[in-house]
Homo-oligomer: A and B are copies of this chain.
Amino acid sequence: MALQKVDTYPCYVEPFHVDFTGRIFMGILGNHLLNAAGKHSQRRGWGIGALNESSHTWVLSRLSIEMEELPRQYEHFEVKTWVESVIKLFTNRNFAVLRPDGTAYGYARSIWAMIDMETRKPCDLLKLYDGDIVNYIVPEDEEVCPIAPHGRFRFKDAELVRTIETYYSDVDINGHINSIKYIEHILDLFPQECFAKQFVQRFEIAYKAESYLGDTLSFFMQKVDENETDIEVRKNVGRDETPQGEVVCQAKVRFK
């Protein structure tokens, strides 16, 4: 018997997980979403653990979070997650961030690929475990995710604003700079006043390449309009082998 398609996970806003305005850090919220994704797929037999045995793993490609309001210190909330669609090499997974009364703080969309850990190439999701994943697809009209799809990035005259070294705390169990740390480093580019007067209403990130402990990360910013900024992160800019640097990720931050 197949499991239900949608799971909901209780979350809580810890004291060290809020910014100076008392709102949850976007990186911490992202972490809650990724945990929910991990548990949801684990429970259905295609979590990281099961996959590693068959030498496959999930790779996060896109994450877009849009919030009407951000949960505050000591608040309880829930993360609901489900699979919206599977398109051969990619799956779209959605999230709702819910208040105790069931209304939404906001929503999120994500795109994941499954890769073979040896070849690092993407796999056909519809072939894995006899296409079991399709049993969990929830049609768009059953579970609504009423936020815009992932946007496109067009970098023309982005300006280098910061270059940082990467250290021990930046790196995950795979030796890669972890997905959440990029979110932290990107929001750290903005001055305190932005967060004092407004909040991050939408945050989008597209992961393009891995970076590793010891890589430098250079952040290029490009203003879209008064409230929206695009950021491109490149690694090892200026090193001989990559004078332009390699694009590691791209992000969009919208304040409201």
Q: Is the CB of B22 within 8 A of A173?
A: yes
Name A171's contact: one of B19, B168, B172 (CB within 8 Å). B19
Q: In the complex, A173→B20 CA distance in Å?
A: 4
Known contacts A168-B188, A213-B192; is A180 also within 8 Å of B20 by CB? no
Q: Is the CB of B188 within 8 A of A167?
A: yes
Name A169's contact: one of B15, B27, B74 (CB within 8 Å). B27
Q: Is the CB of B175 within 8 A of A20?
A: yes
Name A16's contact: one of B14, B21, B172, B213 (CB within 8 Å). B172
Q: Is the CB of A172 within 8 A of B20?
A: yes
Contact of A207 with B by CB under 8 A: no
Q: How far is the CB of A255 from chain B (nearest CB, A)?
A: 12
Q: How far is the CB of A95 from chain B (nearest CB, A)?
A: 16
Digitize A177-212: 1 where CB-to-B-CB distance is under 8 Å, 0 elsewhere: 011100011011010100100000000000000000
Q: In the complex, A19→B175 CA distance in Å?
A: 8
Digitize A1-34: 1 where CB-to-B-CB distance is under 8 Å, 0 elsewhere: 0000000000000111011111001010001001
Contact of A55 with B by CB under 8 A: no
Contact of A73 with B by CB under 8 A: yes
What residue in chain B is nearest A38 (Cβ atoms)?
Answer: B15
Contact of A244 with B by CB under 8 A: no
Q: In the complex, A248→B35 CA distance in Å?
A: 34
Q: Is the CB of B184 within 8 A of A19?
A: no
What residue in chain B is nearest A15 (Cβ atoms)?
Answer: B38
Q: How far is the CB of A142 from chain B (nearest CB, A)?
A: 29
Q: Is the CB of A190 within 8 A of B173?
A: no
Q: In the complex, A187→B171 CA distance in Å?
A: 13
When distances are taken between beta carbons in the complex, the residues of chain B under 8 Å from A192 are 168, 213-214
Q: In the complex, A14→B38 CA distance in Å?
A: 10
Digitize A27-48: 1 where CB-to-B-CB distance is under 8 Å, 0 elsewhere: 1000100110010000000001
When distances are taken between beta carbons in the complex, the residues of chain B under 8 Å from A190 are 168
Q: In the complex, A179→B187 CA distance in Å?
A: 20
Q: Is the CB of B168 within 8 A of A15?
A: no
Q: In the complex, A124→B171 CA distance in Å?
A: 43
> Apart from A15-B38, A15-B172, A167-B188, what are 10 other A-B pairs with CB-CB below 8 Å?
A14-B31, A15-B48, A16-B35, A19-B168, A19-B173, A20-B213, A25-B169, A73-B173, A168-B188, A168-B190
